[in-house]
Structure 1
Amino acid sequence: MEWRNWYLDAILVPLALVMMICYHTYLSFMVRTHPFSTLLGINSHGRRIWISAMIKENQKLNILTVQTLRNLVMGATLMATTCVLLCAGLAAVLSSTYGIKKPLSDAVFGANGDFAISVKYLTILTIFIFSFFFHSLSIRFLNQVAILVNIPNLDPNPYGHFFLTSEHVSEMFEKGILLNTVGNRLFYAGFSLMLWIFGPILVFLSVVGMIIVLFHLDFVSRGNNQEKQRITDCRRSSDLPNGDDNDA
C-alpha cells in the first residue's frame, strides 16, 4: 500500500531531475566544443570583446561600463532576494504542515503523508537556497569586475611588476555571468519542483516543457548557420594581416 502511494514520486520526479541534468550536461559540452552553436557561447565571446573595448576606452566609456555592471548586479540581487523570500515562505509552510495536509490530500496524485510533504518542501527549499548561494557569488564577482575594469592604464600583457591583465578581468566577468546563469537555472528548477506539492505528474510535464523552451533559447537555429560562419570567418581574418606582414 505504501508503494502505491510513492511509486509515482519515486519514478517521475527522479526522472525529471535526470532529464534536467542530462540537458545541461549536453549544453555544457556544446558550449565547450561548439560555442558558436549556442547562445551562451556567442554571448561569452561578445562579453570578452566588450570588456576589452571598455578597458581600452576607459576614459571615454567608464560611465557606460559602471552602469552596465550595475544593471547586472541589480538583476542578480533581485533574484537572490526572491530566493530568500521563497525560502522564508517555504519554511513557514513547512512548520505548519498539518494545516495544509488536509485540504491538499484529495488533490494530490502520489504520496501525501507527513513525511512525503516534508521531503517535498525540504527539496524545494534546498534548491532555492543553492540558487541564492550562486546569485550571491555572482554579485561578488561582478562587484570585483566593476572595480578592476576602471583601473587606469590596465596593461593587456603581463610584463613587468603589473600582473593584472585584461584577460584576468574577462575571466572574472565570465565567472560572474556563469554563476548567475547557474542560479537562474536552479531557480527555474525550483519552480518546476513547486508543482510537486500537487503531484509528481505536474513536475514531469513542467520539466519536459521547460527543457523544450530552454532548448529553443539556448541553441542557435539552423537558419543562422551563415551568421555563425561569418563570425568564424571574421575571427580567422583577424589573423591574416600578421601573416601577410611576415610574408612581406
Structure 2
Amino acid sequence: MEKQILDFSLVPLGLCLLLAYHIWLLHRIIKHPTSTILGINGVNRQVWVRTMMEDVSKNGILAVQTLRNNIMASTVLASTAIMLSSVLSIIMANSKARPSEIVLGAESELGFWIKFLSILVCFLMAFLFNIQCIRYYSHASMLINVPVKKMSSSHLRAEYVKRTVNRGSCFWSLGLRAFYFSLPLFFWLFGPIPMFLCCVVLVFMLYFLDVTFDYGGVVDEEEEW
C-alpha cells in the first residue's frame, strides 16, 4: 500500500516537473531566444544558411558536407532508438518469464506493462523524430544548392531553406529529449523514489545545458526563429 501511494504521488510529480521545465524552456526560446542554447543555435543556423547561399559555387560542397554530417548523426540515433525498441518488444513478448522476475519492484503484471510500454513509447518517438530530422536535412541539402537565377525570388528561397534547416534541428532536439525522458522511466523500474530523484537531477542538468546568458538575451526581430 505504501509503495502504491508513492507511485501515485512521486511519479506524477516527477513527470509534471519535467513538463513544467520544458514549458518554461519553450517560453524562453520564443520570447528570449538568445538566452537559450537552442535559440542561439537557431539564429546561427539562419546566418549560416544565408552565408552558404550567397556563393553557392564556392560554399556548396561545404554546405552539403555539413548537412550530411547531421544526417549521419540522426541516423545513428534513429538506429539506436529502433534497436532499443526491438529489445523491449522482445522482452515484453517473452511469455516464458514472469514480469516480477524481470522488473525489480513490479507488484503486478499491469505495472510491468505500464513501465515497459512507457519506455517503448519514448524510444519510438525518438526514432520518429530523428527520421523527420533526416527528412528535413535531406531536403535542405538539395535546396541550398539551387541556382538563384532559376528562382523567381531569392529572398523567399533563402527563407524557406532557413526554415527547413531549423525544422530539422528542432526534430533533432526532440529526438534527444525523448531519450532524456526514457531515463526517469527506466529508473521507475526500481521504484518511484529513484524515478523522482532522476527527474530532479535531469531538470538541473538540462537547465545548465539549455540556458546561457553570454548573449544578453537580445536579438533582432529578423533573426528570431
Conserved 8 A contact 1:142-1:173: yes
- C-alpha deviation, 1:139, in angstroms: 0.8
- Quick one: distance in 1 between partners of 2:65 and 2:155? 26
- 1:209-220 equivalence runs, <5 A: 209-220=201-212
**Which residue is 2:34 aligned to?**
36
Conserved 8 A contact 2:29-2:38: yes
- 2:112 counterpart (111, 114, 117): 117
Conserved 8 A contact 1:55-1:149: yes
- C-alpha deviation, 1:103, in angstroms: 4.1
Larger Rg: 1
**Which residue is 2:144 aligned to?**
149
In structure 1, list runs of 5 or more residues that go unmatched: 237-248
**Letter aligned with residue 151 of structure 1:** V
Conserved 8 A contact 1:40-1:218: yes
In the alignment, does 2:106 pair up with 1:73? no
- 1:43-54 equivalence runs, <5 A: 43-54=41-52
Conserved 8 A contact 1:154-1:166: no
Does the residue aligned with 1:99 lie in a helix, a strand or coil?
coil
- Quick one: distance in 1 between partners of 2:148 and 2:170? 27
Question: For structure 1, which segment, 91-100 or 23-32, has the greater mean C-alpha deviation from structure 2 after superposition?
Answer: 91-100
- C-alpha deviation, 1:7, in angstroms: 2.0
- Quick one: distance in 1 between partners of 2:48 and 2:175? 23
Does the residue aligned with 1:112 lie in a helix, a strand or coil?
coil
In the alignment, does 2:93 pair up with 1:95? yes
Instruction: Give the alignment's TM-score, normalised by structure 2.
Output: 0.89
**Letter aligned with residue 132 of structure 2:** L
Instruction: Give the alignment's TM-score, normalised by structure 1.
Output: 0.81
In the alignment, does 2:127 pair up with 1:137? no
Q: Percent identity?
A: 31
Q: Deviations over 1:118-177 (max 9, x none)?
A: 111111111111111111111101100001001112689x64xx7951001101111111
- 1:152-231 equivalence runs, <5 A: 152-153=147-148, 159=153, 165-221=157-213, 224=214, 227-228=215-216
Conserved 8 A contact 1:155-1:165: no
- Quick one: distance in 2 between partners of 1:200 and 1:92? 25
In structure 2, list runs of 5 or more residues that go unmatched: none
**Which residue is 2:18 aligned to?**
20
**Letter aligned with residue 37 of structure 1:** S
Conserved 8 A contact 2:37-2:210: yes
- Quick one: distance in 2 between partners of 1:98 and 1:10? 30
- Quick one: distance in 2 between partners of 1:52 and 1:179? 21
Conserved 8 A contact 2:100-2:107: no
Conserved 8 A contact 1:139-1:176: yes
Q: CA RMSD in A?
A: 2.3
**Letter aligned with residue 144 of structure 1:** H
- C-alpha deviation, 1:202, in angstroms: 1.2
Judged with a 3 Å threshold, the aligned counterparts in structure 2 of structure 1 residues 13 and 154 are, in CA distance, closer, same or farther, namely farther
Does the residue aligned with 1:115 lie in a helix, a strand or coil?
helix
